[in-house]
Amino acid sequence: MGDVNVQLVREFFELNLFHVLTNWQQAARRLRPGEHGGQLFVQNTAPDTARDLPFLLHPTDIAAIERAVVEVRAWHADRFYPSVIDANPVLYEFVSEDSLALASDIFAHQPFSTILVVSELPASPELRQRSLDRLRNTGIEHVIEFPLILRDIINRLDANGTYPASETLQTLRLLKRYKLVRNQQMEFAFTNEAPLTDRAPIVEASPSAPDEPVF
């Protein structure tokens, strides 16, 4: 079974009228324990007029993406603090020379963008900006947060429709149908789960990551 994070990101792009190719050649990818990870090559079937896009994407920006390589790193137990980014250079291996050469071959040497899907950025505006600056400095062109992807999927689903080809979409459709999830705020009707805090998570650093000062 494929990773549900990759599946949801794939379906997000498909619902936005993209052709999607999954990169299954991931033997060389360094993953966290328990992480499947995934990379997608996406091409828009009807792109909007090209325009300058922000580094931090919103789902409404996706229509102006013509083609892209998408790296899925939805570490839901973590927020992407500067320390997490510093300790995990695996996050930006997909913009290495070899990885970009593969993507260029896939897209027949046409221009493409690079997009990193993350769980969430810090809630603190200062830490959030520092995380974005670090990611931008790696050469990644765009970042998008997973909750925005999930919200866009739910908003696009027909509560009275059916999605037999996708267990994930069918599950989300049922949650929407029985009002266990609300469209706009993506609020679930379960109140027992503690919210995420701004406490920096404990992460497993990549073996090749250098020692970095603690900020």
182-196, pLDDT tens digit by residue?
A: 655 444 444 444 444
Tally the domains of the chain: 1
Per-residue pLDDT, averaged over 120-140, amounts to: 97
- Residue 199 placed within a domain: no
Whether the CB-CB separation of 181 and 154 falls below 8 Å is answered with yes
Query: What pLDDT, on the 0 to 100 scale, is given for residue 74?
Result: 85
| Token pair in block for residue 32 | 């966290």
Residue 158: inside a domain, yes or no?
yes
**pTM for the full predicted model:** 0.80
Domain contains 109: yes
Enumerate helices (H) and strands (E) in the chain, giving the number of each.
6, 5
Structure tokens at 128: 């959030």
Average pLDDT, the chain: 84
Q: Model confidence at 204, in pLDDT bands (50, 70, 90)?
A: very low
- Domain for residue 183, yes or no? no
Distance CA 3, CA 36 (A): 6
- What range defines the domain where residue 38 resides? 4-177
Q: CA–CA separation, 43 vs 112, rounded Å?
A: 9
